[in-house]
Copies of this chain bind each other. A is one copy, B any other.
Amino acid sequence: MNEVEWWRLKAGELNALAARNAVVILPVGSTEQHGPHLPTQVDALLAGEVAHRAARRAAQRTPVVVAPTVWSGLAEHHLSLGGTLSLDLATFHALLRCLVRSILKDGFRRVLLLNGHGGNIAALTAIVNDFAIEFDAPIATTSYWLLAADAFGKILERQANVRHACEAETSMLLALAPDLVDMARAQGAVGPTGRELKDAVGTEAAVRYRSFKSRTSHGAIGDPRAATAEKGERLLDAAAEAVAKLVATEEFWTLPA
């Protein structure tokens, strides 16, 4: 099976992929507190894993390569709970701009910023649109759990979709790296433990900054108690399948900009 990881490939192999107009998946995650039972790099790990699985699937239909994972995003709201590395918006923008510019200079044209962190969604949407001012190439973004929302909803028992350090993320970690999960500590990490904005105003359409510390005493939101490795495996595969399908959809890349 062919290698799909940029970091493992040699320059000549990447140049060959560029010549074949391969799609570049750039996973974007975060390193931040993930409750008492999960390690800090969950969002980056999962974005990278979904990208890897998706690339393996898509590679049969279209050339594809996975760039290294951007492991730091917008996580200011986690900083007061410790263990968190966060970028400000301008730096996140500049970092992705340099990476995309490099990818284009390397001869690729199609780039998917595959997001694994809720705090990045809005910024990535704004940023890929801003790139259109500068770059003449299709630069796209998606968040894997939103792309696979239907499948995720069917797999999860206590949540509709991914939250933070929750049934979904814990399950996927149990599938991917069980030694990094402390299920004993997951038992009490059910949240939110504080009052939520949504409850106060009845909608998620109103946005106001809130730290996780003010929302949950332990750092998790969701219910990790129902997590299992088997669910995690199914979630990862569903996400990979959705991303692979997107990557291999020619029209997604060729519809005029």
User: What residue in chain B is nearest A143 (Cβ atoms)?
Assistant: B205
* Residue pair B128, A207 in contact (C-beta under 8 Å): yes
| Stretch of A28-36, A52-60, A225-233 contacting B (4+ beta carbons < 8 Å) | A28-36
* Residue pair B11, A206 in contact (C-beta under 8 Å): no
* Residue pair A208, B93 in contact (C-beta under 8 Å): no
At the interface, yes or no: A138 with Cβ under 8 Å from chain B?
Answer: yes
Q: How far is the CA of A44 from the CA of B122 in the complex (A)?
A: 21
What's the tally of chain A residues with a CB closer than 8 Å to chain B?
102
Q: How far is the CA of A210 from the CA of B254 in the complex (A)?
A: 11
* Residue pair A94, B99 in contact (C-beta under 8 Å): no
Q: Which of A1-56 contact B (CB under 8 A)?
A: 6-15, 18, 31-41, 44-45
Contact pick for A252, options B83, B98, B201, B214, CB 8 Å: B201
At the interface, yes or no: A157 with Cβ under 8 Å from chain B?
Answer: no
* Residue pair A10, B31 in contact (C-beta under 8 Å): no
At the interface, yes or no: A67 with Cβ under 8 Å from chain B?
Answer: yes
A183 cross-chain contacts in B, Cβ below 8 A: none
At the interface, yes or no: A184 with Cβ under 8 Å from chain B?
Answer: no
A91 cross-chain contacts in B, Cβ below 8 A: 91, 94-95, 97-98
* Residue pair B74, A129 in contact (C-beta under 8 Å): yes
Known: A89-B130, A129-B76, A143-B205. A82 touches B94 (CB 8 A): no
A251 cross-chain contacts in B, Cβ below 8 A: 195, 200-201
A-B contact pairs, 9 of them (CB 8 A): A6-B41, A9-B39, A12-B82, A15-B83, A82-B107, A89-B126, A142-B206, A194-B256, A214-B257
Sample of 4 more A-B contacts, CB < 8 Å, known A11-B219, A14-B82, A84-B102: A10-B35, A138-B209, A140-B207, A214-B256
